[in-house]
């Protein structure tokens, strides 16, 4: 199979997985000229200084140019970017770390087991559904954290508006073994047989429905095992059938790259990129990362999230911050991380569109409540009524 054959087939099988074709793609270099906004390219990965991006995106034209560059990097380039100092306030990151630790301790006390998709049980502390757990327990911490402008910049670049966040906390303890190489959600979570049952165009579509990300909640030198990546591997069309095959696993093990991160750095990558969390060889670093799976409005999120309860919990914080002078963009970013931005599916007999093609989304209602200064009881009533309409 030649690299130019990609995109011409209707179905894919393991027989299409040719290592030489794969090597042709992944052994190309990353040209710094394609990433002019980046601070540098390191091991094939563009590293962006977030303060520079903030300056470059101050104008609409500059924002579009940066988003164009980020999309090209994730789609046709190396498939992974690092945003250095995405979170500049250590107190915001530490506040979220304390919230995560509180949830971990609560769940340990219950004896609930927390597995990992691609690592042995017990190698780490994992919190599923961390987004709504923190929103309800610590809404002010949540708001300060998810108001982050770099997170919104790359999510909107890759997914467009109405994206939806989910978050899973991963703490890899000293001695924690590496994950096996994999691709991620959606097709990456299917068996070989299940993935092969989907036509090739779905294999091409799946990666653009999700943005993978991770925020470093501590300094992560290489010995602590930050994530391993194989730049350019997201471009390999049969990759959802290839990543389990021994020849491809061996190639990944021999050729991956690994970048150290500092607390507050964020890495984002195409979910089709071959990757794996690394082995924590340190003796004293509990490597904590907030793993983000950001979904297109047109896809299905990885987790079910109680966004109605989250919206009610965050509403007083949003009102307080608005009164203190928070910008509309700041408020919008927190609403985007909190409420359902897409109005479907719904029961259209009960929830008919009014003044447009769709009924108001949960996020529309929350934005209106903030703008008009509703009483919390009114928001609670409106959200509950809308949920009942959607359910029929």
C-alpha 209/C-alpha 185 separation (Å) is: 9
Q: Tell whether 313 and 288 lie within a shared domain.
A: no
Answer whether residue 300 is part of any domain: no
Residue 318 neighbours by CB distance under 10 Å: 22
Residues 203, 347: one domain? no
First-to-final CA distance of the chain: 50
217/366 same-domain check: no
> pLDDT band for position 85 (50/70/90)?
very high
| 107 shares its domain with 191 | yes
pLDDT band at 391 (very low <50, low <70, confident <90, very high): confident
Average pLDDT for residues 318-334, to the nearest whole number?
98
Same-domain check for residues 261 and 371: no
312 and 291 together in one domain: no
Q: Average pLDDT for residues 337-350, to the nearest whole number?
A: 91
Question: Among residues 252, 275, 295, which one ends one of the domains?
Answer: 295
Instruction: Indicate whether 121 belongs to any domain.
Output: yes
Q: Which pLDDT score is estimated for 112?
A: 61
Of the candidates 211, 334, 219, 230, the one whose C-alpha atom is nearest the C-alpha of residue 265 is 219
Cβ contact 196:13 at 8 Å? yes
pLDDT-derived band of residue 260, with 50, 70 and 90 as boundaries? very high
Residues 54 and 149 in one domain: yes
Alpha carbon of 90 to those of 16, 129, 199, 253, 261: distances in Å? Answer: 47, 23, 45, 34, 14
Tokens for 80, please give them: 């992974």
- Within a domain: 301: no
Lowest mean pLDDT among 141-150, 185-194, 231-240, 280-289: 185-194
Does 173 lie in the same domain as 125?
yes
Judgement on whether residues 178 and 252 belong to the same structural domain of the protein: yes
The mean per-residue pLDDT over the stretch 295-306 comes to 89
Residue 118 has pLDDT above 60, yes or no: no
Find out whether the peptide bond into 46 is cis, omega within 30 degrees of 0. no
Instruction: Give the strand order in the sheet containing 124-127.
Output: 40-42, 45-49, 80-84, 266-269, 210-216, 287-295, 164-172, 124-127
Whether the CB-CB separation of 172 and 280 falls below 8 Å is answered with yes
Q: Which conformational region is residue 210 in: left (phi greater than 0), alpha (psi within -120 to 50 degrees), or beta? A: beta
**92-102: average pLDDT:** 98
Range of the domain at 364: 307-391
Lowest mean pLDDT among 36-45, 197-206, 271-280, 383-392: 383-392
Number of domains in the chain: 2
Cβ neighbours for 362, distance < 8 A, ≥ 6 positions apart: 307, 308, 311, 339, 340, 341, 343, 383, 386
Asked if 339 and 369 touch (Cβ cutoff 8 Å), the reply is no
Domain assignment of residue 192, yes or no = yes
DSSP state of 21: H
Return the percentage of the chain with pLDDT > 70, whole number.
95
- Quick check: is 302 in a domain? no
Domain boundary residue, one of 295, 329, 363? 295
Task: Judge if 124 and 262 occupy the same domain.
Answer: yes
Is the pLDDT score of 4 beyond 50?
no
Q: What is the pLDDT of residue 353?
A: 83
Same domain for 338 and 280: no
Domain presence at residue 324 = yes
Q: Which residues pair with 229 in a beta bridge?
A: 257, 275
Q: Which residue from 294, 290, 292 is spatially nearest to 172, judged by alpha carbons?
A: 290
Helix axis angle, 362-372 relative to 376-391, nearest 10°? 160
pLDDT of residue 356: 79
Q: Tell me: do 272 and 332 sit in the same domain.
A: no
Q: Domain ends where: 236, 262, 295?
A: 295
Between 112 and 335, whose confidence is greater? 335
Asked whether residue 368 is domain-assigned, the answer is yes
CATH number of the CATH domain containing 199: 2.60.120.620
Which carries the bigger pLDDT value, residue 297 or residue 292? 292
Please say if the pLDDT value at position 31 is more than 80.
yes
Confidence (pLDDT) at 248: 98
Q: What CA–CA distance (Å, rounded) separates 33 from 43?
A: 15
pTM of this structure: 0.92
| Domain contains 252 | yes
Q: What is the mean pLDDT of the chain?
A: 94
Exposure of 4 by Cβ count < 10 A (0-12 exposed, 13-18 middle, 19+ buried)?
Answer: exposed
């Amino acid at each position: 199979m030649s690299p130019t054959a990609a995109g011409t087939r209707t179905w894919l099988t393991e027989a299409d997985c040719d290592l030489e074709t794969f090597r042709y793609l992944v052994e190309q270099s990353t040209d710094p000229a394609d990433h002019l906004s980046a601070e540098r390219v390191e091991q094939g990965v563009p590293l962006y200084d977030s303060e520079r991006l903030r300056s470059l995106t101050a104008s609409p034209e500059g924002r579009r140019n940066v988003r164009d560059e980020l999309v090209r990097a994730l789609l046709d380039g190396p498939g992974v970017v690092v945003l250095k100092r995405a979170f500049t306030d250590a107190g915001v990151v530490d506040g979220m770390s304390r919230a995560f630790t509180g949830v971990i301790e609560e769940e340990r006390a219950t004896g609930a087991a927390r597995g990992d998709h691609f690592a042995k049980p017990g190698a780490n502390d994992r919190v599923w559904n961390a987004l709504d757990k923190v929103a309800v327990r610590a809404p002010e911490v949540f708001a300060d954290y998810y108001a982050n402008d770099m997170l919104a910049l790359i999510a909107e670049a890759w997914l467009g508006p109405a994206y939806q966040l989910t978050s899973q906390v991963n703490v890899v303890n000293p001695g924690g073994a590496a994950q096996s190489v994999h691709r991620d959600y959606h097709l990456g979570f299917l068996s070989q047989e299940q993935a092969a049952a989907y036509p090739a165009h779905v294999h091409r579509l799946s990666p653009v429905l999700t943005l993978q990300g991770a925020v470093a909640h501590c300094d992560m030198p290489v010995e602590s095992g930050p994530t391993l990546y194989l730049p350019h591997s997201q471009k390999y069309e049969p990759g959802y059938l290839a990543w389990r095959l021994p020849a491809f696993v061996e190639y990944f093990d021999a050729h991956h790259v690994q970048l150290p991160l500092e607390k507050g750095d964020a890495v984002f990558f195409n979910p089709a990129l071959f990757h794996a969390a690394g082995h924590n060889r340190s003796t004293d670093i509990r490597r904590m990362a907030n793993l983000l799976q950001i979904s297109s409005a047109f896809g299905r999120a990885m987790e079910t999230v109680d966004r109605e309860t989250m919206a009610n919990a965050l509403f007083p914080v949003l009102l307080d911050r608005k009164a203190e002078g928070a910008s509309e963009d700041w408020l919008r970013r927190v609403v985007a991380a909190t409420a359902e931005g897409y109005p479907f599916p719904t029961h259209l007999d009960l929830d008919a569109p009014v003044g447009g093609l769709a009924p108001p989304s949960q996020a529309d209602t929350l934005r209106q409540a903030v703008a008009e200064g509703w009483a919390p009881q009114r928001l609670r009533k409106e959200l509950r009524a809308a949920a009942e309409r959607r359910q029929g």
